[in-house]
Structure 1
């Protein structure tokens, strides 16, 4: 370690967790104990990570619910046969058309239900994460 220009207390050049006084020409025998502080950037980074994770859970929840809404309201087709939407089914009156539309509408409703369940899972995971973060902050960690 190079010697500082001005006299004062500096971290001990021997690497110990103490301060040593530099008188302007040499290191003296005068020392003072101190505990090194953790960098503030670690706390800021952890807080940023928590905030980002909560936003990601929220965005995934919204995306799943929007997907479900899209699946419910858009037109369902079984080949060339238009079947209406899950919310407003209009199956083809022929026997084959009715069977095909029933199958297509049921499949679309199932996928919409899966999107809702996945969105609910993200919402619950976000709530659990947020609650855990608040408990850690209250404990002082």
Structure 2
């Protein structure tokens, strides 16, 4: 777990070459899908029924978009800035479907720092194993003491 303090963060606005960034990879499993269903109660057949998903033109069940977006929480809370993060907001959009077994790379960088509020703007993306962007986000993160 990273432990960046506000003072250690370098935004892309400050230094276009040495700005603070982070990334990690994770694979989506059927177990993750089941746990997300149990928490959310979202039983839409696109996520639950492989035959239905195929009828809709997908090769398999589609992973919950919000499960994919939950990796932005890991990016902020573990990697950027990490331990001292207080997540304020995540604005995400979905570009392409994700499927069970996909390996996702979640990456982000600090675009701006706001001294008055001790917050940072993070620009983040999630790409799959084929390099296809599946999601993008703007994250606002603050810092604990």
TM-score bracket, normalised by the shorter chain, equals: under 0.3
Could you tell me the TM-score, scaled by structure 1's length? 0.20
Considering Cα pairs closer than 8 Å and 6+ residues apart, tell me whether 1 or 2 has the greater RCO.
2
Higher share of residues assigned helix = 1
Larger Rg: 1
